[in-house]
């Protein structure tokens, strides 16, 4: 079965017992401290119960098959070009859920061919009630780094994880017990928002990935300048990790960066209508934010760029149908005015921006 997993394109495969996760108590404490932010679905009693007991997700579960798919691409993205958006590496290609689910279903069919057609299974990618990194460590795939992601000594941490719960009794792999982070704390020091409070202690409420993807409402004002031009996710804690130096690229062509994602410009994205957004991103991870979430993030990035060329696009944003877009466009215009106030060449910009903000800000702030 492991050979079949590799034939399907999975880079790693291991098997763990369907038991209470090693870090179950820490997870409960993490939720109680409110570090999950607005992700209330994580704290639902039924969801917590299933994460702490795999048998609650699949009756009679005995084994968990853990698989990993490398999504690393050497394209570092336009981090140094503030006029262009930065999208997390995992989201630069086709939606990985479709790719992963296809491979998981094929692996399940192989399992049934080996064990028997009456075997029961349940497969998840990253949406199921499973603490996948915990089980992956127990299955020998790697260790959980100080930035809370799973790290494999050969492939690094740019890995999608998936799992198949089954009532079949399979041979378990030896857990990965070494903590190879050592004294390194690069990820903690590099996080712009201070989201990594300590080794393996992430406050999602401060994480740029959470702020630009999971958070549905306004981004806290004090955190907006720290986001830079990241409009979907963040890789900073992985980019500085020494275990990601020289790791191989993905073998899956559908995970390669797409020009319509990596070649975009912020001003262009700010002009996307609903139908244009759907047509462009419906088969990518970016669809998760919906148009209003993406344009909220783009407005913040334009404000951080603070270039007068962004003013027309943001002015249109003040009149957008979505309150979230209007509010963040007003903030961005104010930031541009503030940043450019000392330049004689931008006096007109300052005056006009103040007029726009005065006329729209009250309504925008109510929406905000």
DSSP per residue over 230-297, as a string? Answer: EEE---HHHHT-GGGTTPPPPS-GGGSPPHHHHT--HHHHHT--HHHHHHHHTTSGGGGGHHHHHHHH
109, two tokens: 């069919």
Examine the domain organization and report whether 95 and 235 are in the same domain: yes
Examine the domain organization and report whether 37 and 182 are in the same domain: yes
d(CA 4, CA 1): 5
- The predicted structure's pLDDT at residue 338: 86
Total domains present in the chain: 2
Examine the domain organization and report whether 202 and 281 are in the same domain: no
What percent of the chain clears pLDDT 70, i.e. is strictly above it?
Answer: 91
State the catalytic residues: 126
Examine the domain organization and report whether 346 and 291 are in the same domain: yes
Examine the domain organization and report whether 289 and 204 are in the same domain: no
Q: Which of 237, 264, 291 is the last residue of a domain?
A: 264
Q: Which of 264, 279, 314 is the last residue of a domain?
A: 264
Examine the domain organization and report whether 250 and 337 are in the same domain: no
Examine the domain organization and report whether 323 and 196 are in the same domain: no
285-327 per-position pLDDT tens digit: 999 999 999 999 999 999 999 999 999 999 999 999 999 999 9
User: Mean pLDDT over residues 92-116, rounded?
Assistant: 94
Look up the pTM and report it: 0.91
pLDDT band at 354 (very low <50, low <70, confident <90, very high): very low
Q: Which of 264, 282, 308 is the last residue of a domain?
A: 264
Mean pLDDT of the chain: 91
Pairing of strands 121-124, 12-17: unpaired
d(CA 141, CA 25): 22
Domain housing 301 = 265-368
C-beta of residue 321 within 8 angstroms of C-beta of residue 292: no
User: Mean pLDDT over residues 195-208, rounded?
Assistant: 97
Examine the domain organization and report whether 121 and 185 are in the same domain: yes
């Amino acid at each position: 079965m492991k050979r079949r997993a590799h034939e399907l394109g999975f880079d790693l495969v291991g098997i763990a017992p369907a038991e209470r996760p090693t870090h179950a108590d820490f997870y409960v404490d993490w939720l109680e401290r409110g570090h999950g932010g607005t992700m209330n679905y994580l704290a639902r009693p039924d969801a917590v119960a299933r994460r702490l007991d795999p048998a609650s997700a699949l009756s009679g579960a005995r084994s968990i098959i853990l698989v990993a798919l490398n999504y690393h691409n050497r394209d570092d993205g336009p981090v140094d070009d503030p006029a262009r958006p930065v999208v997390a590496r995992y989201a630069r290609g086709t939606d990985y859920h479709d790719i992963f689910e296809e491979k998981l279903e094929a692996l399940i069919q192989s399992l049934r061919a080996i064990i028997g057609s009456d075997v029961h299974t349940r497969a998840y990618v990253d949406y199921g009630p499973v603490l996948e990194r915990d089980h992956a460590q127990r299955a020998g795939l790697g260790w959980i780094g100080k930035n809370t992601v799973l790290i494999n000594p050969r492939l690094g941490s740019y890995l999608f994880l998936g799992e198949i719960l089954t009532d079949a009794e399979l041979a378990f792999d030896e857990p990965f017990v070494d903590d190879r982070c050592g004294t390194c704390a690069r990820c903690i020091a590099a996080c712009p928002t201070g989201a990594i409070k300590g080794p393996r202690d992430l406050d999602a409420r401060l994480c740029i990935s959470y702020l630009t993807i999971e958070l549905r409402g306004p981004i806290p004002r004090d955190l907006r300048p720290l986001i830079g031009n990241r409009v979907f996710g963040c890789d900073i804690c992985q980019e500085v990790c020494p275990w990601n130096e020289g790791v191989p690229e993905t073998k899956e062509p559908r995970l390669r960066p797409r020009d319509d994602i990596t070649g975009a410009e912020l001003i262009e994205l700010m002009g996307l209508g609903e139908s244009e957004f759907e047509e462009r991103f419906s088969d990518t991870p970016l669809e998760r934010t919906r148009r209003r979430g993406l344009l909220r993030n783009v407005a913040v990035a334009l404000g951080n760029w603070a270039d007068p060329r962004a003013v027309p696009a943001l002015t249109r944003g003040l009149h957008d149908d979505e309150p979230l877009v209007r509010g963040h466009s007003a903030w961005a215009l104010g930031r541009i005015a503030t940043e450019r106030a000392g330049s004689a060449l931008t006096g007109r910009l300052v005056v006009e921006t103040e007029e726009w903000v005065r006329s729209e800000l009250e309504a925008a702030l109510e929406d905000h």
